[in-house]
């Protein structure tokens, strides 16, 4: 596959570069039948779950050696109830997640805050003795946390910074706002039907947003052996949008000339 050079500055990724990328991917899909086979299989699987299928697909069973079998192919809807049961068990559970800072400065600051809490807890009894000696009150520093008496318990205690607390609260808010349980439920159906599920994240109305993408609309390197799309050579999705939908989602990236051109399409 002859993709244009990828490791170049963003300033050099002009319209021609993008078109060359798209053309290279299209050529790859036309010359390799894997993409068409995967798309056909996904569409057929979705239809099978709904009890829809083409009898001609199974003539190799019903009409063996040119002889029509006296039995006929009958659909028994046993797949969807199983998926519904599993999906119900999935959404009945709470979405569990953890929030942790990962960059070195944040981790160091987190450890410093943890030791500050320990030091403050140790110094408080000493302050009381000093106060008795000098006859003056020394205010304690309120760090909002207390160290347990057991040192081992303290070392294993889940200590979170203010940033982690804010991120945790924000995620819980977004789970409710965007009804993420239902989003992941639909993704679970995709996994059960096609063995694939896809999501994308972006900013919507100032908040992070998670969108489930139909596997039948995904374009990616089917020959890749990696497990996640972020490690794939390319990935994208195709869909139909109205002009207003394009402007709502990509308007902040378009120039005035591009918007005018869009309305002329």
Mean pLDDT by 10 residues, the chain (265 residues): 84 89 85 82 90 81 73 82 91 84 69 69 73 70 51 55 83 91 93 92 86 91 80 86 86 86 85
Nearest to 187 by CA among 69, 260, 86, 53: 86
DSSP 162: H
The whole-number pLDDT of residue 151 equals 47
**Measured on CA atoms in the order 116, 118, 120, 123, is the torsion positive or negative?**
negative
Q: What pLDDT sits at residue 166?
A: 87
What local confidence, expressed as pLDDT, does residue 32 receive? 75
What is the number of helices (H) and of strands (E) in the chain?
10, 4
Q: Which helix (H) or strand (E) holds 41?
A: helix 34-49
């Amino acid at each position: 596959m002859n993709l244009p050079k990828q490791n170049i500055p963003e300033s050099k990724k002009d319209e021609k570069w993008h078109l060359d990328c798209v053309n290279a991917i299209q050529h790859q899909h036309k010359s390799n039948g894997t993409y068409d086979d995967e798309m056909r299989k996904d569409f057929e699987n979705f239809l099978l779950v709904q009890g829809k299928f083409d009898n001609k697909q199974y003539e190799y069973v019903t009409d063996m050696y040119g002889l029509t079998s006296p039995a006929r192919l009958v659909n028994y809807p046993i797949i969807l109830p199983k998926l519904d049961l599993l999906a119900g068990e999935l959404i009945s559970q709470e979405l569990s997640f953890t929030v942790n800072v990962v960059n070195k400065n944040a981790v160091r600051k987190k450890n410093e805050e943890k030791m500050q809490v320990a030091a403050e807890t140790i110094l408080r009894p000493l302050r009381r003795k000093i106060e008795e000696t000098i006859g003056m009150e020394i205010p304690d520093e309120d760090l909002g946390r207390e160290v347990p008496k057991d040192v081992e318990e303290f070392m294993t205690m889940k200590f979170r910074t203010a940033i982690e607390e804010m991120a945790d609260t924000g995620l819980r808010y977004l789970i409710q706002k965007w009804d993420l349980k239902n989003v992941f439920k639909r993704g679970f159906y995709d996994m059960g039907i096609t063995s694939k599920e896809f999501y994308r994240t972006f900013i919507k109305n100032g908040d992070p947003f998670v969108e489930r993408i139909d596997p039948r609309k995904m374009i990616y390197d089917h020959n890749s052996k990696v497990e996640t799309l972020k490690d794939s050579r390319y990935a994208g999705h195709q869909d139909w949008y109205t002009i207003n939908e394009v402007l709502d989602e990509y308007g902040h990236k378009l120039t005035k000339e591009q918007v005018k051109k869009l309305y002329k399409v």
